[in-house]
Structure 1
């Protein structure tokens, strides 16, 4: 029985088969090429994003920053002298270099706590200055981590900045002398100065507080600093007409020898001139 539909000739059938086979072969090729193209575009997108991110996270250089003038130096000696009566200053070429503040940073912590802490914390800060108590310093700094930087800004101490812990802060002999000079100008009996005048002969950790600038004539009060391994020592002292500070990489005796050699004549002259004015 013949089909109702018209039968296609063999040549037409063969042609259709060829077209069908070619079409089937082309589908995976198109699919593969399409996937490859999408992957390339996606990869380009990732690279562009990474480049944009890199550019966007690059911070511009700080322009005009006071801190950019710092020179880190924990090895050189520093000496600073200030005469109160005429405002004259002298010091080593290194006196403005930022170096480990050691326990001198407790002066800055105490100043902030006295202005912003509780009455109880204020008494703790005063005791910390006299005995150089590390435990109290740690507690107060944990409560007021902004203390050192805030005082540095308030008193324009350009070489002074905080560390993650108070023991990792930095300052300079120039800064600590400037700080005490401003305290004395505001109030010669400031609690910090009184605490320095009443410093204990032995610190809370058992270390003697009798070296460095404290040996100079006419000294009324002092604050000392030393590293745990005793390789760094520093001190600051004041009298009626002078403020002095010094720091060394070396022993307490090394600091004392440096101070006696560098500052004795200037301190004696300041004492004489102060007596003439009184």
Structure 2
């Protein structure tokens, strides 16, 4: 750990925070969370119209004032302008790292870390196959120790199912839930598998209800949202992983484990999501879920460490 500091700009969106904090911690410097909640009219305007402003925040935001950090990292539209303003206020000293395509001129950033499907090209762009994230071997080990006793009664193989929710590109509805349940029941009957399911905050309660009802006669555990989230525990302990197609983050984190990862629920999709999943499949990280369980080997998808290494070289931290 050096004496350098990194501000992570957070607007409370878990999926974005996981990317920002994952990369920040991988740099090995002090990480400071800065909660930023832009107010009207700024939050509705394109970033180009307020890239010089640090006065766009509500009372529930943290102060953005000197001493300025050595690095600022942010993900998502609402932190783009603020990161540029911080770099300007620091006299250019703050190293500005943007995750995902910022949709503004790339010259405002030292590095942009963008997945291939963002189609963001430039001399200062580091392209990644999936999303950088906060999953590490140490976190998986701790999670496996925490959750192993709770799953000890279940047979092997163990199928971990990560369920997301409908977004602008993919629908995860009750029809998908029924199809998924059919396949999981098949896996249980034909492979002797036990099933563990963790819904996300975005999962429709009706989707969870379908899975609970349909899997009631199968050796299974479906997280009910109480107590500690078993997400990392299931990543660590499952023999196979099934991930709904709506989340780049979940697919990327599942592929970090190096285990067989099956993708379920491509009932909508756009070119961006389809490109992402085609790329994962073509490189051997994932396969479509049919209910059959097959084994294959792929190297862990650890884009976070790769990107952090490149950034540390650029900043002279190695």
Q: Quick check: TM above 0.5?
A: no
TM-score (norm 1): 0.26
- Structure with higher Rg: it is 1
Structure with more contact order per residue of length (Cα contacts < 8 Å, sep ≥ 6):
1
Give the strand-richer structure, 1 or 2.
2
TM-score (norm 2): 0.24
